[in-house]
């Protein structure tokens, strides 16, 4: 009898290693493993994970490089919208999951898989992101989740693998690290407590620079275009360049506290030097180049866009509408932002842009008015006060 095919979203960690062997040996499926790389894995990592997959007995393993797609379809719009969840978190690794799920379900359809699987537990957000994306894009393909359904412990999974002849170092690290192009999330005992924070040694990037340094980030129509004068056609490389510089100062570290998709509160530490420097530089450039009401509505749309992305709603059609709005606001967001870096922080010094709205013949704030007279100002103020004067006048008579 021909075996049924299952595509497993595979990272090489304990849960997905267990799933690969369990689905093959216990359930008799023909297992294909797929790793969707959104910038968090280097060549050595990919080779090691591939070797691990074949040692687990899978039929075939593939690495799907979707880093550029992730930038074009997500990061670009998160920069346009200055997206920081709860004003803090650049939706780092969590935003990648949707695109990993899309790549994996497309691969499953390509090879005619009967099932798709992932190793998420029942306690986190990723189970929703994978399940929802799989179900929307391929409702005909059934979803398998052994780790969640069997409510397994680490000890059980390790013992199972050892008893089936698979030896690997699955020592539980003190801190769990999930690295991606748009930041690194860090979980540990401190993130489970409301009154603690991560120690210095928990962060993958350590502070190695003490002297201040000037960084210049250039934008062209809202997209990162240059770093310290060097032009980048490949935007992924530009992001990596900013990250490499900022991480040496320990910039972009923080703790995100927010509502999970499943309804409980959660905390996660993160470091994201590149995203934080790029987003805040972009936001400063917009303050100089956008109108008052463009900025106002961008704040609303950007907040909703980030919320929907976090909540696994990337495929909701309204996301395309929000993207169209965000992109339309970027036609004048061109220029260079000057940033001064220091250990654990930075200062946004200023901008240079041909579209700087401060460069005007109408007047200089607090100094001189050129486009109106003193009498104009008096009349404007008087008219502006009328609605409030009516309110207080009525109040006196009632």
pLDDT tens per residue, range 128-151: 999 999 999 999 999 999 999 999
Using the structure block, give the residue that is written with the tokens 């799989």. 134
Q: What is the mean pLDDT of residues 16-45?
A: 95
- Alpha-helical (H) ranges within the chain are 14-21, 43-55, 67-70, 76-80, 92-110, 126-137, 146-150, 154-163, 235-246, 273-289, 292-310, 318-328, 374-397
Task: For residues 187 and 136, state if they share a domain.
Answer: no
Residue 178 above 70 pLDDT? yes
Task: For residues 94 and 239, state if they share a domain.
Answer: no
Region of residue 315 (left: phi > 0; alpha: psi -120 to 50; beta: else): alpha
Long-range contacts of the stretch 220-228 (C-beta < 8 A, 24+) = 220/334, 221/330, 221/331, 221/333, 221/334, 222/76, 222/79, 222/80, 222/282, 222/327, 222/329, 222/330, 222/333, 223/76, 223/79, 223/330, 224/79, 224/278, 224/282, 226/336
The predicted-structure confidence for 74-123, as pLDDT tens digits, reads as follows: 999 999 999 999 999 999 988 999 999 999 999 999 999 999 999 999 98
Task: For residues 78 and 199, state if they share a domain.
Answer: no
Task: For residues 201 and 258, state if they share a domain.
Answer: yes
Task: For residues 116 and 9, state if they share a domain.
Answer: yes
Domain membership of residue 78 (yes or no) is yes
Position 369 confidence tier, pLDDT thresholds 50, 70, 90:
confident
Position 361 confidence tier, pLDDT thresholds 50, 70, 90:
confident
Task: For residues 133 and 231, state if they share a domain.
Answer: no
pLDDT for position 229: 97
The predicted-structure confidence for 265-295, as pLDDT tens digits, reads as follows: 999 999 999 999 999 999 999 999 999 999 9
List the structure tokens of 211: 């002297």
Position 398 confidence tier, pLDDT thresholds 50, 70, 90:
low
Q: What is the mean pLDDT of residues 320-345?
A: 98
Q: What string of DSSP letters covers 182-235? A: TEEEEE-GGGGSTT----GGGSSS-----S-EEEEEEEETTEEEEETTEE-SSH
Domain containing 51 equals 5-163
Domain membership of residue 309 (yes or no) is no
List the structure tokens of 127: 């189970």
Domain membership of residue 137 (yes or no) is yes
Residue 146's nearest CA partner among 165, 125, 119, 170 is 119
Residue 272's nearest CA partner among 186, 175, 176, 173 is 186
pLDDT for position 397: 67
Task: For residues 246 and 196, state if they share a domain.
Answer: yes
List phi, psi (to 5°) of 6.
-135, 135
Position 330 confidence tier, pLDDT thresholds 50, 70, 90:
very high
CA distances from 243 to 205, 236, 252, 342, 359 (A): 10, 11, 9, 14, 32
Domain membership of residue 171 (yes or no) is no
Q: Which of 163, 196, 221 is the last residue of a domain?
A: 163
Q: Is 4 helix (H, G, I), strand (E, B) or coil?
A: coil
pLDDT for position 2: 84
Please report, rounded to a whole number, the percentage of residues in the chain having pLDDT higher than 90: 88
Task: For residues 199 and 240, state if they share a domain.
Answer: yes
Domain membership of residue 262 (yes or no) is yes
Residue 303's nearest CA partner among 317, 283, 289 is 283
Task: For residues 38 and 117, state if they share a domain.
Answer: yes
Task: Name residues whose C-beta falls within 8 Å of residue 69's C-beta, 6 or more positions apart in sequence.
Answer: 99, 103
Task: For residues 26 and 147, state if they share a domain.
Answer: yes
Residue 1 above 80 pLDDT? no
Task: Name residues whose C-beta falls within 8 Å of residue 217's C-beta, 6 or more positions apart in sequence.
Answer: 224, 226, 227, 242, 277, 278, 281, 336, 337, 339
Query: Structural domain tally of the chain?
Result: 3
Give the CA count within 13 Å in the CB-facing half-sphere of 336: 11
Residue 353 above 80 pLDDT? yes
Question: Which CATH number covers residue 119?
Answer: 3.40.50.620
Alpha-carbon distance 18 to 369, whole Å?
A: 71
Domain membership of residue 303 (yes or no) is no
Residue 319's nearest CA partner among 93, 78, 71, 70 is 78
pLDDT for position 362: 79
Domain membership of residue 84 (yes or no) is yes
Region of residue 183 (left: phi > 0; alpha: psi -120 to 50; beta: else): left
Task: For residues 261 and 380, state if they share a domain.
Answer: no
Q: Which of 97, 129, 163 is the last residue of a domain?
A: 163
Residue 276's nearest CA partner among 331, 239, 314 is 239
Longest dimension (CA), the chain: 92
Question: Which CATH number covers residue 253?
Answer: 3.90.1260.10
Mean pLDDT of the chain: 94
Q: What is the pTM of this model?
A: 0.93
Domain membership of residue 383 (yes or no) is yes
Task: For residues 210 and 270, state if they share a domain.
Answer: yes
pLDDT for position 48: 95
């Amino acid at each position: 009898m021909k075996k049924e095919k299952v595509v497993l979203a595979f990272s090489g960690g304990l849960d997905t290693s267990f799933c690969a062997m369990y689905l093959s040996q216990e359930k008799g499926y023909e297992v294909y493993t797929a790793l969707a790389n959104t910038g968090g894995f280097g060549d050595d990592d990919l080779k090691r994970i591939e070797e691990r997959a074949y040692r687990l007995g899978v039929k075939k393993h593939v690495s799907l490089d979707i880093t550029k797609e992730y930038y074009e379809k997500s990061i670009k719009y998160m920069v346009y919208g200055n997206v920081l969840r709860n004003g803090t978190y650049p939706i780092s690794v969590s935003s990648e999951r949707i695109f990993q799920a899309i790549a994996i379900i497309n691969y499953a359809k390509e090879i005619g898989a009967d099932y798709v699987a992932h190793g998420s537990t029942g306690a986190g957000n990723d189970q929703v992101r994978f399940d929802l994306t799989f179900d929307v894009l391929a409702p005909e393909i059934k979803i398998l989740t052994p780790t969640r359904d069997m409510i397994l412990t680490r000890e059980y999974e390790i013992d199972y693998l050892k008893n089936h002849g698979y030896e690997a170092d699955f020592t539980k690290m003190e801190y769990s690290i999930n690295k991606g192009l748009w930041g690194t999330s860090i979980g540990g005992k401190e993130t489970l407590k409301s009154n603690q924070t991560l120690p210095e040694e928990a962060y993958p990037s350590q502070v190695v620079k003490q002297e201040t340094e000037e960084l210049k980030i250039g934008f062209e129509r809202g997209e990162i275009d240059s770093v310290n004068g060097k032009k980048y056609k490949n935007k992924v490389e530009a992001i990596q360049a900013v990250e490499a510089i900022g991480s040496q100062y320990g910039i972009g570290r923080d703790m995100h506290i927010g509502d999970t998709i499943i309804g409980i509160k959660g905390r996660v530490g993160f470091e994201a030097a590149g995203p934080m420097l790029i987003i805040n530089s972009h936001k400063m450039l917009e303050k100089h180049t956008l109108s008052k009401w463009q900025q106002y509505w961008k704040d609303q749309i950007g907040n909703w866009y980030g919320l929907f992305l976090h909540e696994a709603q990337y495929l909701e059609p309204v996301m395309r509408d929000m993207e169209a709005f965000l992109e339309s606001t970027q036609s004048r967001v061109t220029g260079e932002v000057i940033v001064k870096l220091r250990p654990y922080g930075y200062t946004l010094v200023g901008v240079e842009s041909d579209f700087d709205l401060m460069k005007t013949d109408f007047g200089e704030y607090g100094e001189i008015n050129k486009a109106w007279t003193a009498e104009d100002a008096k009349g404007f103020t008087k008219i502006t006060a009328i609605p409030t004067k009516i309110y207080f006048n009525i109040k006196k008579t009632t």
